């Protein structure tokens, strides 16, 4: 998820694990010199099992083509303003191109979003979706700095995170507001205590410079890139810093680079409400929707459930209770993909009967919690990267002033999203800017794909990204669909357009619409 708010995990990262759990229960340079680091040789080996910070699990299985996953570590400067100083390790993964070696284009680098998502654990989960691209590209991803195995940001313990995610995130009075502020300060202070050395160096500009070093170490003259969700922001920042090094690039599920954190949170609030509207319409259109006879009844019952849970939580995943906060989080997670709608329907049915397990599992997925109670570092990394990037710091007075607008945008998500703006208050590192600079004059064409039903990165952001990249840089493609992102919807029109560009350099006509 690309937003700067409490709803800020990576749906793609966890969806494969989630489904299993539910079924079981400037110019051409722009950077400082990197000295000898550009000449480093990567030692590719069979991949180990993902670390707990990456989400845990088993070593990745070969792709259906037989291509095996290999992992390596790249050295990068901790501080890009002092490139000859100390270094950190950046974890990489690849599957080598499967086609005729003479037709190999190079590496295709993926970032799946967050920020905070582990590319090393995510790419294998979705690698088969990119089999066509794998014929001419090495598929490559990485854990950005602060994430997974790449100098991970560490904040609170698993037990503390259980408490953190159970807190009341929609305070009703001054006492509850103080509790929320104090708990946020506690989390942020733990990040500073446990990751003081790393926190000043996890900005998106730092990750973009890592990608240009990666391009050189991989042996590519240009960076061929596939960015999803926050990965589009990272790609835009890269294009701004290194426009002459941009190769064939695709931005899917596009972040609006012109918004400040407040605007982004409000836009996402509207996006999730639109997705909930579409879910309610989809369920009742069948004629046998078990959670309501009309779309409005479905939404009214959801709103009542959340009100009831604030007063009295119900059993979730033992020994934890399903609170209003966890239920809201779980509902949001289910709206990332139309494939999850059936689980939302079942989860709501059970919740109305006093069983909150499915909604709790959905919430756990959003938060990076495994079934054994261990957390990935997605939340810590997400907060650290966002708060380092974003200059504004909001107060409770700011939130109270904005609450009516947020509630008007969504009676289900509005209050929750508004209070989420406090996440960076009292953060140890100053934020860099109100919003990222992605202007990229001189860049190669970038294909920007917007989904009209995207909850996390609303469709309007695609046009804003096109305009911000600059005249003659971006080509916009629209997908009239549901869920977060377009390519992985399996829509043949979208996939054909993206594949034609990445494989053959064929840029679709701007304004092309797929449905």
Long-range contacts of 286-290 (CB under 8 A, 24+ apart): 289/345, 290/345, 290/349
Q: What local confidence, expressed as pLDDT, does residue 36 receive? A: 87
Across 451-465, average pLDDT? 96
What is the rounded distance in angstroms from the CA atom of residue 303 to the CA atom of residue 363? Answer: 17
Tokens 């294909």 — which residue?
A: 447
Asked which of 23-27, 35-39, 185-189, 476-480 is least confident by mean pLDDT, the reply is 23-27
Q: What local confidence, expressed as pLDDT, does residue 32 receive? A: 40
Residue 138 forms beta bridges with which residues?
107
Q: In this prediction, what percent of the chain has a pLDDT beyond 90?
A: 92
Across 210-214, average pLDDT? 98
What is the rounded distance in angstroms from the CA atom of residue 254 to the CA atom of residue 144? Answer: 19
Across 190-202, average pLDDT? 98
Q: What token pair was written down for 31? A: 């950077």
229 has catalytic annotation: yes
Across 358-378, average pLDDT? 96
**pLDDT bucket at 286, cuts 50 / 70 / 90:** confident
Across 244-261, average pLDDT? 97
For the stretch 104-162, pLDDT in tens is 999 999 999 999 999 999 999 999 999 999 999 999 999 999 999 999 999 999 999 99
Please report, in angstroms and rounded to a whole number, the separation of the first and last CA atoms in the chain: 23
Q: How far, in Å, are 10, 89, 399, 419 from residue 7 at the CA level? A: 9, 28, 16, 11
pLDDT higher than threshold 50 for residue 3: no
Residue 443, classed as helix, strand or coil, is coil
Q: What local confidence, expressed as pLDDT, does residue 17 receive? A: 43
From 337, 370, 484, 488, active-site residue: 484
Strands (E), 260-415: 314-315, 321-322
Q: What local confidence, expressed as pLDDT, does residue 34 receive? A: 56
Burial of residue 194 (number of CB atoms within 10 Å: 0-12, 13-18, 19+): middle
From 210, 220, 364, 454, active-site residue: 454
Q: What local confidence, expressed as pLDDT, does residue 287 receive? A: 86
Q: In this prediction, what percent of the chain has a pLDDT beyond 70?
A: 93
What is the rounded distance in angstroms from the CA atom of residue 198 to the CA atom of residue 77? Answer: 11
For the stretch 233-248, pLDDT in tens is 999 999 999 999 999 9
Average pLDDT, the chain: 93
φ/ψ of residue 71, rounded to 5: -125, 150
Q: How far, in Å, are 80, 84, 90, 123 from residue 75 at the CA level? A: 12, 11, 6, 21
Q: 244: how many CB neighbours lie within 10 A of its CB?
A: 14
Q: What local confidence, expressed as pLDDT, does residue 132 receive? A: 97
pLDDT higher than threshold 90 for residue 335: yes
Q: What local confidence, expressed as pLDDT, does residue 9 receive? A: 40
> Is the distance from CB of 443 to CB of 240 less than 8 angstroms?
no
**pLDDT bucket at 264, cuts 50 / 70 / 90:** very high
240 has catalytic annotation: no
pLDDT higher than threshold 60 for residue 423: yes
For the stretch 465-504, pLDDT in tens is 999 999 999 999 999 999 999 999 999 999 999 999 999 9
Long-range contacts of 470-475 (CB under 8 A, 24+ apart): 470/439, 470/440, 470/441, 470/443, 473/239, 473/440, 473/441, 473/443, 473/445, 473/446, 474/251, 474/445, 474/446, 474/447, 474/448, 475/445, 475/446, 475/447, 475/448, 475/507, 475/508, 475/509, 475/510
Q: What local confidence, expressed as pLDDT, does residue 510 receive? A: 87
**pLDDT bucket at 35, cuts 50 / 70 / 90:** low
504 has catalytic annotation: no
Which helix (H) or strand (E) segment holds residue 139: the answer is strand 137-142
From 229, 363, 365, 370, active-site residue: 229
Across 94-103, average pLDDT? 97
> Is the distance from CB of 69 to CB of 57 less than 8 angstroms?
no
86 CA to centre of own chain: 29
């Amino acid at each position: 998820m690309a937003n700067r708010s409490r709803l800020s995990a990576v749906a793609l990262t966890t969806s494969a694990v989630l489904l299993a759990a539910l079924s079981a229960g400037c110019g051409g340079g722009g950077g400082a010199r990197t000295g000898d680091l550009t000449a480093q040789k990567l030692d590719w080996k069979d991949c180990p099992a993902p670390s707990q910070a990456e989400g845990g699990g088993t070593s990745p299985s070969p792709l259906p083509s037989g291509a095996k996953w290999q992992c390596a570590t790249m050295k990068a400067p901790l501080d890009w303003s002092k490139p000859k100083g100390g270094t950190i390790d950046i974890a990489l993964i690849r599957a080598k191109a499967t086609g005729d070696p003479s037709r190999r284009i190079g590496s295709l680098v993926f970032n799946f979003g967050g920020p905070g998502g582990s590319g090393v654990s995510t790419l294998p989960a979705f690698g088969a979706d990119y089999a066509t691209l794998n014929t001419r590209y090495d598929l490559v991803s990485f854990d950005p700095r602060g994430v997974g195995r790449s100098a991970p940001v560490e904040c609170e313990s698993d037990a503390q995170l259980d408490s953190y995610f159970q807190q009341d995130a929609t305070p009703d009075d001054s006492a509850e507001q103080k509790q929320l502020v104090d708990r946020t300060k506690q989390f942020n202070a733990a990040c500073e205590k446990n990751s003081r050395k790393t926190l000043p160096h996890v900005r998106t500009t730092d990750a973009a410079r890592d990608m240009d070093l990666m391009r050189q170490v991989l042996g590519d003259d240009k960076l061929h890139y596939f960015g999803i969700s926050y990965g589009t922001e990272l790609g835009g920042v890269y294009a701004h810093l290194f426009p002459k090094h941009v190769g064939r690039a695709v931005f899917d599920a596009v972040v609006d680079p012109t918004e400040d954190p407040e605007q982004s949170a409000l836009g996402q609030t509207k996006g999730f409400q639109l997705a909930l509207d579409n879910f309610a319409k989809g369920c009742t259109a069948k004629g046998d929707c078990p959670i309501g006879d009309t779309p409005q009844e479905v939404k009214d019952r959801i709103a009542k459930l959340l009100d009831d849970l604030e007063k009295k939580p119900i059993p979730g995943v033992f020994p934890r209770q399903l609170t209003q906060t966890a239920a809201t989080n779980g509902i949001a997670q289910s709206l990332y993909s139309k494939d999850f709608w059936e689980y939302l329907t079942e989860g709501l049915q059970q919740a109305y009967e006093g069983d909150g397990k499915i909604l709790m599992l959905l919430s756990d997925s959003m938060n990076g919690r495994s079934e054994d109670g261990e957390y990935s570092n997605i939340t810590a990394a997400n907060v650290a990267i966002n708060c380092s990037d974003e200059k504004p710091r909001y107060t409770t007075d700011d939130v109270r002033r904005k609450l009516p607008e947020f509630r008007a945008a969504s009676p289900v998500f509005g209050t929750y999203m508004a209070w989420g703006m406090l996440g960076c208050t009292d953060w140890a590192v100053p934020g860099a800017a109100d919003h990222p600079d992605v202007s990229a004059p001189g860049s190669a064409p970038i294909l920007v794909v917007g989904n009209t039903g995207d909850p996390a990165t609303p469709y309007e952001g695609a046009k804003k990204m096109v305009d911000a990249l600059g005249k003659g840089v971006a080509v916009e493609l629209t997908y009239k669909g549901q869920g977060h992102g377009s390519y992985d919807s399996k829509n043949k029109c979208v996939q054909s357009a993206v594949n034609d560009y990445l494989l053959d350099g064929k840029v679709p006509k701007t304004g092309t619409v797929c449905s």
